[in-house]
């Protein structure tokens, strides 16, 4: 062993491993939808430029349910941030309440999506429209379920006392992924539901 020739190390900042990892995962998930929506917009432009209507005859996509889902998901941004702020103050009751509300609103979004699928009367085998719309909205439901599992897992860890005001990266990481999921829905809302 050699002598201590180098200066002592300064205090190190706590590495936010889980938050950074969640941000990378969120970015990758976001890019899946960028790819899907890119194909959707190209296909729709091709159909419309050929003089046809985008949606097949007899198919209509109402705007009420997508708007309701969008508002619901915007509410979850606030409840999720409420959870982060509460755990940062060691206010566990508010953190549990906020996480629970977030999960409930997530379930409501899934229910509303399936109701919208029922209302649309669009067959997946009807052509390019069915494949694209069901793939994109279905993939979003998958991302929502993953985000809910992430939130629930972090909620359980919070219940187990693993997070404190100083160390609550798990909740923050779940929030990062959740916000990405909401941003993805915003993309879907504008591309599929509003500009149809």
Partner 1 sequence: MALTDTRPESGTDASAVAPSVVPSPLTIFGTGDHKAVGTFYVLAALVFGIAGWIAATLASAHIIGSGSFLTETTGTQLLQTSKLGLILLVIVPLFLGLGTYVVPLQVGASTVAFPRAAAAAMWTWLLSSGVFIVASFIDGGLGGTRAKSVSLTLFALGGLIVALLLGTVCVLTTAITLRTPGMTLDRVPMFTFSMVVGGAIWLLTLPVLLANVLLIWVDHRYGGGTVFGAASSQFGQVAWITHEPQLYAFLVPGLGIVADIAATLTGARLGQRNLLLFAIGAFAVLSVGAWAQPAIYPNFSEDLVWQAMGLLTLLPLLMLLAGVAAAFKDGKPSLKSPLGLAVVSVVLTFLGVLAGALLVITPFELRTTNFFANGQYVLVIGAALTAAIAGIGYWGPKMTGGQLADGLGKLNVLVTLGGGVLGGISLCVLGFATRFSGLSGSHDTLVVVSAIGTALFAIGSLIAIGSLLSGARKGAPEAGDNPWGTGQTLEWACSSPPPTGNFGDLAVVRSPEPLLDEEA
Size of the site for partner 1 (CB under 8 A): 46
Beta carbon nearer to partner 1, 5 or 50: 5
* Largest pairwise CA distance in the chain: 82
CB of 164 to partner 1, least distance (A): 15
CB of 105 to partner 1, least distance (A): 26
Contact 109, 181 (CB under 8 A): no
**If you write DSSP's letter for every residue of the chain in order, what string do you get?**
-----SPPPPPPPPP-HHHHHHHHHHHHHHHHHHHHHHHHHHHHHHHHHTT--SSPTT----SHHHHHHHHHHHHHHHHHHHHHHHHHTT-HHHHHHHHHHHHHHHHHHHHHHHHHHHHHT--GGGSHHHHHHHHHHHHHHHHHHHHHHHHHHHHHHHHTT---SS--HHHHHHHHHHHHHHHHHHHHIIIIII--
CB of 68 to partner 1, least distance (A): 26
Q: Segment near partner 1 (CB under 8 A), from 38-46, 47-55, 92-100, 156-164?
A: 38-46
Q: Segment near partner 1 (CB under 8 A), from 16-24, 83-91, 93-101, 154-162?
A: 16-24
Q: Segment near partner 1 (CB under 8 A), from 23-31, 62-70, 110-118, 179-187?
A: 23-31
2 binds partner 1 (CB under 8 A): yes
Site string for partner 1, 125-164 (x = CB under 8 A): xxxx-xxx-xx--xx-------------------------
CB of 25 to partner 1, least distance (A): 6
Give me the torsion for CA of 136, 80, 26, 166, rounded to 10°.
Answer: -170
112 binds partner 1 (CB under 8 A): no
Residue ranges binding partner 1 (CB under 8 A): 1-12, 14-17, 20-21, 24-25, 27-36, 38-39, 42-43, 124-128, 130-132, 134-135, 138-139
């Amino acid at each position: 062993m050699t002598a201590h020739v180098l200066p002592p190390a300064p205090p190190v900042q706590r590495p936010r491993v889980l938050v950074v990892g969640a941000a990378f995962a969120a970015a990758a998930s976001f890019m899946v939808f960028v790819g899907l929506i890119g194909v959707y917009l190209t296909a729709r432009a091709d159909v419309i430029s050929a003089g046809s209507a985008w949606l097949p005859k007899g198919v209509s996509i109402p705007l009420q349910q997508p708007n309701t889902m969008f508002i619901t998901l915007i509410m979850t941004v606030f409840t999720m941030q409420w959870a982060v702020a509460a755990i940062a103050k060691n206010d566990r009751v508010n953190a549990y309440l906020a996480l629970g509300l977030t999960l409930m609103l997530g379930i409501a979004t899934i229910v509303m999506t399936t109701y919208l699928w029922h209302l649309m009367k669009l067959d997946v085998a009807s052509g390019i429209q069915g494949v694209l719309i069901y793939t994109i909205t279905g993939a979003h439901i998958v991302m929502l379920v993953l985000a809910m599992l992430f939130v629930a897992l972090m909620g359980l860890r919070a219940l187990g006392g693993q997070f404190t005001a100083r160390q609550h990266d798990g909740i923050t990481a779940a929030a990062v992924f959740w916000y990405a999921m909401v941003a993805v829905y915003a993309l879907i809302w504008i591309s599929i539901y509003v500009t149809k």
